[in-house]
Structures are given as structure tokens and as C-alpha cells.
């Protein structure tokens, strides 16, 4: 019996080694090593950090990336330059799944023609995090003009506990300001970062033992009404349309208060829209979104509503604006539409 177990374990070890070696030569996503390298409230990669990213089990959209001199995935290094435009947002701005020339920073710079663009994307961040990057760009690099590329959840995700916070947030119950700093990785996670097999299982396949265990426990119990913390308008999965005015107003007011005096030139906000509804030919009626646009304009921002732009493009062509049915980030066409609009706003206003 012991001999059988020994040979089984030996065969299993050999199989795992084979998988590790095979995955090492494939474009499996590698560790990004994000941390507060640049600022206590701003997550970045280490400067000059190289990593690979791919999507799904079949490693779609594989890209080899390298951060710039301060740790952002950007096509140029940052240095003091009042002519520069800071492009700020989350993974929609970083767009690491796109070819480098198709990303928002490069496309916006081509649209501007004569001005450098500092791409300051931060995956997993929200509107109040963007205020911190505006602060950094203004203080360290003398940037005067800013473009925010906002996805539809950026306001709601500024509530603490959303899972998309890198620093400042508002308490989801009291709306009081708080700070949520992401914890450094555990020793086990730091070790697993160096394994292509572990990265494939946990990164590409999204295997989550904790989630499976919680699901198994939940299914073994009688059906119960979910706790209020997971069903209210503040829940991470809730839509912006479900966000009542007090929460939305508090986030937007806090954002503009934090950037006061830091935008010497123009603030252009490009706001994504409900593309799924547009593809289906359905109307959109989002009062909270309209309220955000009105508040931002009243605060002096130039707001570009992408809905009429996307609808006009769909009237000319059936091509969609998503990377794919598995990824709702903007593809090269969608990026071109929004960056052209942002460039025109900077030129014309």
C-alpha cells in the first residue's frame, strides 16, 4: 500500500512539474507586484516592472507590459511639464488587454497632436482615488489639464467596502470620509507569484477556494434572507441607477472639494454609458447618471456623455465597442471614439 501511495505522489509531483514548465513558456499572467510605491494613497506597479497579462483559460489578448519611471502602465515617462494632459481612470484607462497603440493614452496623444499625455490608470479604483492622482499630477508634474475616463460604477464604488478602493472612500452607511488601504500580500501569496501554475489556476481560471467553501456552507443551510449589508443600494453589485441622491451627492461633492485648486486648466470627464442596452436597441433612463452629469457641469467640469456618440456610431455600423463578450472594457474602436471627443473638448473649450 505504501508503495502505491509513493508512486502516486511521485507521479502527481511529476505532473505538477510538467504543468509548471509548460505554463512557463505560455503567456500566463504574471504577478503585477502592486503597492504604495509612489504615494501612501496611490497604488502603482514598481517602476520599470515587467509583467504579462492574458484573459481566460485560453490566454486571450496576451500582452507584455512594462511600467514607466514612476510605476504606471504608460507609453512615456513622467517629468514636470505644464503642457501635459493627465489621463486618469481605472482599468478602462490602463487598458492592458489592448495592443499598446490602441490604448487610451496613445490614442488621446495622437488626437492632441502636440501635447504629451500622462496615463495614470489604476485598476480597481474609483472616483475619490482619481482625486489623489489629480493631486499627484498637479503637485509633482505641474499638470494643468485633466481627462477622467469614468466607467459607470466609479461613483458607487467610492463607497467603502466596494472592493474598488485604493485609499479614500465614504462610509456606505454614514457617508463620512474614511481611508481603506489595501493590505500587502501574505508570504504564501508572494511565493505563489513566482509559479506559472499557481498564476494560471488562480488568475486565469479564477479558482477561489474561499468562495467555493462559502458557497458549499451556504448551500448546506436553509434559505435565509440576505443580510442588509449585501442587499442595499451600497452593495458592490448595485447599479448607479440604484444609488439614491444623498450617497451620490456626497461622493461627487467630496470629489470636487478634494480637487479644488488643483485643476488650473480644464477638467474633462468622459462618462461611459449602458452599452448593453444600446446594443439591444433599448432606451436608457438613469436619473442618477443624469444627476451626476448636472453636478459635474455645475462644478465646472466639461462632461462628455458617450451615449449619443455610441448611438450615432451604432447607427452607421453594427460593430460593438467591447473587447469581447467576456470583457466589457472598451476596444480600440470605443477608445478611439471617446479619446477623439476628449481631444476636441480640450481644443475647443
Whether 303 and 271 have beta carbons less than 8 Å apart is answered as: yes
Complete DSSP assignment for 106-162: HHHHHHHSSS-EEEEE-TT--HHHHHHHHHHHHHHH---EEEEEE-TTTTGGGBTTS
pLDDT at 212 over 80: no
pLDDT digits (tens, 9 = 90+) for 269-328: 999 999 999 999 988 878 899 999 999 999 999 999 999 999 999 999 999 999 999 999
Q: Which residues contact 258 (CB under 8 A, 6 or more apart)?
A: 128, 131, 132, 135, 168
Q: Kindly report the average pLDDT of the chain as a whole number.
A: 90
Whether the Cβ atoms of residue 120 and residue 88 lie closer than 8 Å to each other: yes
> 219 pLDDT band (50/70/90 cuts)?
low
Tens of pLDDT along 326-347? 999 999 999 999 999 999 999 9
pLDDT band at residue 242 using 50, 70 and 90 as cut-offs? low
- Write down the pLDDT at residue 204: 86
State the number of CA atoms in the 13 A half-sphere of 19 facing the CB. Answer: 13
- For the chain, the domain total comes to 1
Which residues, including other chains, have CB under 8 Å from residue 273's CB and lie 6 or more apart?
152, 284, 289, 305, 306, 307, 310
CATH number at residue 106: 3.40.50.1110
- Confidence tier at 232 by pLDDT (50, 70, 90): very low
Is residue 94 helix, strand or coil? Answer: helix
- What is the pTM (predicted TM-score) of this model? 0.89
Task: Answer whether residue 230 shows pLDDT above 50.
Answer: no
Given a cut of 60, whether residue 27 has pLDDT beyond it is: yes
pLDDT at 214 over 80: no
* Assigned C-alpha cell, 199: 498564476
67 in helix, strand or coil?
A: coil
Q: Sorting pLDDT into bands at 50, 70 and 90, what band is 83?
A: very high
The parent domain of residue 202 ranges over 2-348
Q: Residue 220 has what pLDDT?
A: 61
Amino acid at each position: 500500500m505504501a508503495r502505491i501511495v509513493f508512486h502516486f505522489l511521485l507521479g502527481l509531483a511529476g505532473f505538477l512539474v510538467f504543468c509548471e514548465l509548460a505554463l512557463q513558456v505560455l503567456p500566463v499572467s504574471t504577478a503585477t507586484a502592486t503597492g504604495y510605491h509612489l504615494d501612501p494613497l496611490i497604488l502603482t506597479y514598481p517602476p520599470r516592472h515587467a509583467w504579462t497579462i492574458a484573459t481566460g483559460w485560453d490566454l486571450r489578448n496576451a500582452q507584455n507590459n512594462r511600467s514607466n519611471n514612476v510605476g504606471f502602465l504608460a507609453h512615456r515617462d513622467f517629468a514636470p511639464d505644464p503642457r501635459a494632459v493627465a489621463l486618469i481612470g481605472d482599468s478602462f484607462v490602463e487598458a492592458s488587454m489592448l495592443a499598446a497603440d490602441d490604448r487610451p493614452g496613445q490614442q488621446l496623444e495622437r488626437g492632441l497632436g502636440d501635447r504629451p499625455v500622462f496615463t495614470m490608470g489604476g485598476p480597481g479604483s474609483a472616483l475619490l482615488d482619481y482625486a489623489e492622482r489629480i493631486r499627484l499630477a498637479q503637485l509633482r508634474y505641474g499638470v494643468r489639464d485633466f481627462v477622467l475616463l469614468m466607467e459607470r460604477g466609479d461613483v458607487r464604488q467610492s463607497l467603502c467596502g466596494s472592493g474598488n478602493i485604493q485609499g479614500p472612500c465614504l462610509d456606505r452607511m454614514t457617508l463620512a470620509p474614511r481611508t481603506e488601504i489595501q493590505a500587502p500580500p501574505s508570504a504564501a501569496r508572494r511565493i505563489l507569484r513566482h509559479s506559472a501554475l499557481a498564476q494560471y489556476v488562480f488568475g486565469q481560471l479564477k479558482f477561489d477556494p474561499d468562495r467555493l467553501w462559502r458557497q458549499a456552507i451556504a448551500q448546506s443551510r436553509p434559505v435565509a434572507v440576505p443580510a442588509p449589508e449585501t442587499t442595499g443600494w451600497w452593495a458592490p453589485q448595485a447599479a448607479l441607477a440604484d444609488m439614491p441622491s444623498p450617497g451620490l451627492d456626497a461622493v461627487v461633492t467630496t470629489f470636487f472639494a478634494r480637487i479644488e485648486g488643483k485643476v488650473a486648466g480644464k477638467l474633462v470627464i468622459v462618462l461611459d454609458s449602458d452599452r448593453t442596452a444600446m446594443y439591444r436597441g433599448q432606451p436608457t433612463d438613469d436619473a442618477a447618471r443624469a444627476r451626476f452629469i448636472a453636478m459635474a457641469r455645475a462644478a465646472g467640469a466639461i462632461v462628455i456623455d458617450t451615449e449619443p456618440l455610441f448611438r450615432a456610431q451604432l447607427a452607421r455600423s453594427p460593430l460593438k465597442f467591447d473587447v469581447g463578450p467576456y470583457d466589457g472594457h472598451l476596444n480600440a474602436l470605443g477608445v478611439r471614439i471617446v479619446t477623439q471627443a476628449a481631444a476636441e473638448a480640450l481644443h475647443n473649450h
